[in-house]
Amino acid sequence: MIWPISNLDYSSLVGRISLPFVFSSNVTNTVEANGLQNAYQRKYYNQQENKSSSYDQSCHSVFRDNMPFNQLLGLEFVTQGSGLETQISLHLNWQPSLTGNPMQKILHGGVTATMLDTIGGLVSIIETIKQTSIEHLVDLQVRLPTMGTVDMRVDYLRPGRGERFIATAAIIRKGSKLVVCRMELHNEKGDHIAFGTGTYMLG
Amino acid sequence: MIWPISNLDYSSLVGRISLPFVFSSNVTNTVEANGLQNAYQRKYYNQQENKSSSYDQSCHSVFRDNMPFNQLLGLEFVTQGSGLETQISLHLNWQPSLTGNPMQKILHGGVTATMLDTIGGLVSIIETIKQTSIEHLVDLQVRLPTMGTVDMRVDYLRPGRGERFIATAAIIRKGSKLVVCRMELHNEKGDHIAFGTGTYMLG
Amino acid sequence: MIWPISNLDYSSLVGRISLPFVFSSNVTNTVEANGLQNAYQRKYYNQQENKSSSYDQSCHSVFRDNMPFNQLLGLEFVTQGSGLETQISLHLNWQPSLTGNPMQKILHGGVTATMLDTIGGLVSIIETIKQTSIEHLVDLQVRLPTMGTVDMRVDYLRPGRGERFIATAAIIRKGSKLVVCRMELHNEKGDHIAFGTGTYMLG
Amino acid sequence: MIWPISNLDYSSLVGRISLPFVFSSNVTNTVEANGLQNAYQRKYYNQQENKSSSYDQSCHSVFRDNMPFNQLLGLEFVTQGSGLETQISLHLNWQPSLTGNPMQKILHGGVTATMLDTIGGLVSIIETIKQTSIEHLVDLQVRLPTMGTVDMRVDYLRPGRGERFIATAAIIRKGSKLVVCRMELHNEKGDHIAFGTGTYMLG
């Protein structure tokens, strides 16, 4: 899928959202910038610590509030750690409307695929930003907007039973144009429900 | 994903739904049976023609009304032809809530994956029923309930733009345990939006 | 995989091989040029017909003679038609050394994967050249050398039994950077042995 | 692909090869049995230690000596540890005949696919044997012979450069009929060259 960053009015988000650091041309003026953006600033300019909660809010803003389908499903973006060490995962509470099977509480396979694709794309974007040096962030700004999923494989390992589902992702390889990502879905008991591999392209 | 047929009360559906022909032990008593069920009866007993519209309704009953997530998305099952020659496809009208991208009317990749998985599983089930001789339908009844998606590859070919999306599927190979299926998603203009390959297992 | 065109001395091949039309800066001087190269010249300059057999030889030169592993396996490149209408397929005669199974004449799954990957890459390259206008062929020359397989899915449909195996490919989508291709392997009886989907990247 | 175990004369291998423990009906009489077979015997009967080198030889016998294509490529099966804790990997020394690219020492993508498919199938078989209780080994013996690859995804992460290539695999999930496996290919420097996911079916 094409990721939502592509058409956001980045300038309006500066200071409120950390990801659009790359998308803003007047970053240096943004006093209330934080999260990943500040992580960069710390990395290069050794600035003071900022609270990661605002980074957390940022992800919510970009990926849930701005992606109606994620909102329809009730996807939650949860972060641990702060700045460049932030780990992000995608959570979803069980709801009857997500049922693929009317007689049992089993997640529809499309919900599983949605969670894997979304976390894979999100982690690919974040890692790309992390690994981009400040001087190349402007170039990235031009290319990131059209980032999208090229292809994805989903392995359905077990029926999607549970009260809460957690999707995580790890980069297998980050190239200049393509990112390959490995995704997993577990339930609250740690049962491994699905496994995925996705290829994502920078625009 | 695990398909909903697995836990339906098949006996209550007899006469109303054609698919459960296989699931019913007292088929011969079902005077209002029709669709695929009748296709079988015609095939073997040369019965009179029945209208395919009821088959159409059957698919709605099983796959939309009984799969809450399909209902949430607004998936429509559309059939052409009648009896064993019935072709089935999956339609979806554009809705803002399916957006992956807030600024443009682009389908979330998870919706695409959901449509491909659903049509692939549905066509796999129908083809399996079609190719099963009457004497083996009882065996199939035991195994079909736990049919599920083993794995799926989705190729996102173009941004999901359009007013109406149509998913179709064709069997590549039907084995005794596994069915391999090829799926496609087009919009109302015929633009090829996504391509998929799925492996489905009979229980 | 990375395709062999990447490191060929294209200038030395001009006139002998048709594909490197794109790779040569002094094409107009090459009187003995033919095949796909001439197809272009015909297309734009309405030149006289050339025999496709030389195109056939070209493919042999580039893909078999220059790819040692293809040679080790005994892959044959077979063309039908001429010029831009040329259809290419990959043939392989059964040999005991290709056995995955010592007791039966069954092709090793790695041979199947090799044939699908090779025909997919070859057709992707040819289609890319075909769809590139003459004025952009120089750009393509810069990017084609690093063309490679990004990822591939192989579906093993039936045991690889037969005397002769034929791999074919069709483009699903050709983008500016990525080509998605569908590949099939049949035996001489037409049994469908394997199905594949590959994503190939232009450099 | 269909795995070679399917048609081996298991009875002739008893005592020489450890894997065919499952395939032999007179195991208790086999005094020179060792390796995985003995691991089972130790596990249940607390027998004395046996050297793993014979297990190593067994793998060579079954997978290299009995699979001509593995032999043609020069694949080596390397084991670490002993008995049930044995870890197996697949090694390959660079040879010019494996070249996909004539100008550089880059592995043909088909060799990569072959290595991933082979190690995935091998580890799937071994894990299946390990996780089968002694009383069900006879059932497994009936089903294992037709074990084969259902489908496989290969992600080509980097050009296949190196002097020695090592393929490893880990089970993602082992079901009663299907095994899902994750495979990786590295070179001697530890560069991650390819990643794969395979679905294997017990007969």
> pLDDT by residue (tens digit) across C149-164?
999 999 999 999 999 9
* Predicted pLDDT of residue A179: 96
- The tens digit of pLDDT for each residue in A127-160 reads 888 888 777 877 777 777 678 999 999 999 999 9
Inspect the interface and report whether the beta carbons of D1 and C100 lie closer than 8 Å: yes
Helix (H, G, I), strand (E, B) or coil at C190: coil
Task: Name the token pair of A185.
Answer: 């879905």
**First vs last Cα of chain C: how many Å apart?**
12
Q: Beta-carbon neighbour count of residue D178 at 10 Å?
A: 21
Q: Do A57 and A79 form a contact (C-beta atoms < 8 A)? A: no
Look at strands B99-101 and B76-80 and give their pairing: unpaired
Contact C40, C134 (CB under 8 A): yes
Residues of A in contact with C153 (CB under 8 A): 153
B59 pLDDT tier (thresholds 50, 70, 90):
low
**Of B52-61, B62-71, D20-29, which one has max mean pLDDT?**
B62-71
Q: What pLDDT score was predicted for residue B1?
A: 53
Q: pTM here?
A: 0.79
Integer Cα distance of B60 and B70 in angstroms: 10
User: What pairs with residue B131 in β-bridges?
Assistant: none
CB B79 within 8 A of CB B168: no
Residues 144-183 of B with CB under 8 A from D: 150-151, 153, 177-178, 180
3-class secondary structure per residue, A136-169? HHHHHHHHHHHCEEEEEEEEECCCCCCCEEEEEE
Flag whether residue C201 sits within 8 Å of chain A, measured between CB atoms: yes
Contact A107, A114 (CB under 8 A): no
How far is the C-alpha of A50 from the C-alpha of A38, rounded, in Å? 7
Chosen from A197, A199, A200, A201 to mutate, greatest number of chain D CBs within 10 A: A197
| Percent of the residues in chain C that have a pLDDT greater than 90, as a whole number | 41
Angle, in degrees to the nearest 10, between helices A109-130 and A36-45: 20
pLDDT tens for A37-48 read 444 444 433 333
Strands B99-101 and D106-107: unpaired
Higher pLDDT, A105 or D45: A105
Instruction: Please tell me which residue of chain D has the smallest CA distance to C4.
Output: D101
CA distance D160 to D166: 11
- Name the token pair of C88: 């290419």
> Chain D, 71-100: which have a CB under 8 Å from a chain A CB?
none
**What is the nearest CA distance from A137 to chain D, expressed in angstroms?**
24
Residue of D nearest to C66 (CA): D102
Q: Write out the two tokens for B49.
A: 């023609």
Question: Can you give the three-state secondary structure of B42-105, one letter per residue?
Answer: HHHHCCCCCCCHHHHHHHHHHHHHCCHHHHHHCCEEEEECCHHHCEEEEEEECCHHHEEECCCC
Q: Kindly list the distances between the CA atom of residue C70 and the CA atoms of A35, D99, D100, in Å, as whole numbers in the listed order.
A: 52, 9, 7
Chains linked to D by 3 or more Cβ pairs within 8 Å: A, B, C
> Could you read off the pLDDT of D163-194 as tens digits, one per residue?
999 999 999 999 988 999 999 999 999 999 99
* Mean pLDDT of the A10-27 span: 29
- pLDDT score recorded for residue A189: 97
d(CA C89, CA C108): 20
CB atoms within 10 A of CB B95: 15
User: What is the C-alpha separation between D67 and D59, in angstroms, rounded?
Assistant: 11
Residue C134 and residue C149: Cα distance in Å, rounded?
25
Please report the pLDDT score of residue D138 as a whole number: 77
How far off is chain B from C111, nearest CA to CA, in Å? 20
Helix A109-130 and helix B109-130, axial crossing angle in degrees, nearest 10: 150
pLDDT for residue C58:
53
Q: How far apart are CA A163 and CA A198, in angstroms?
A: 26
Nearest Cβ partner of D180 from A155, A173, A180?
A: A155
Joined together, the tokens standing for residue C30 give: 């090459």
Q: What is the pLDDT of residues C71-112, one digit of tens each?
A: 899 999 898 887 667 788 999 999 999 988 766 788 999 999
pLDDT band at B107 (very low <50, low <70, confident <90, very high): very high
